[in-house]
C-alpha cells in the first residue's frame, strides 16, 4: 500500500451564474477531505421597462 495522491479538477462556474467556488488547490490522498465552499450571489436582471424609468 502506497501513499498516492489524486488530482481532482474543480473549475469556477461562469460569472453569469452567480456562483463562486472557494477551495485550496493541491494534491489530496485517497480517503482524505478538503473543504470546498460554494458561494451564491443574487443576480437581478434589469428589464427594459425598469431601465426606461431610470
The 10s digit of each residue's pLDDT in 24-44 is 887 777 788 889 999 998 877
DSSP letter string, 32-48: -----EEEE----PPPH
Containing structural domain, residue 11: 5-53
Which pLDDT belongs to residue 37?
93
Which secondary-structure segment (H or E) carries 52?
helix 48-53
Q: Considering its fold, how many domains does the chain have in total?
A: 1
Which secondary-structure segment (H or E) carries 5?
strand 5-6
What end-to-end distance do the CA atoms of the chain give, in Å? 67
Please choose, from the candidates 28, 31, 22, 26, the residue with its C-alpha nearest in 3D space to the C-alpha of residue 6: 28
Higher pLDDT residue, 34 or 3? 34
Amino acid at each position: 500500500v502506497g501513499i498516492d495522491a489524486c488530482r481532482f479538477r474543480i473549475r469556477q462556474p461562469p460569472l453569469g451564474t452567480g456562483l463562486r467556488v472557494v477551495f485550496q488547490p493541491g494534491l489530496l490522498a485517497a480517503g482524505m477531505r478538503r473543504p470546498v465552499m460554494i458561494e451564491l450571489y443574487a443576480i437581478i436582471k434589469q428589464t427594459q421597462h425598469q431601465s426606461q424609468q431610470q
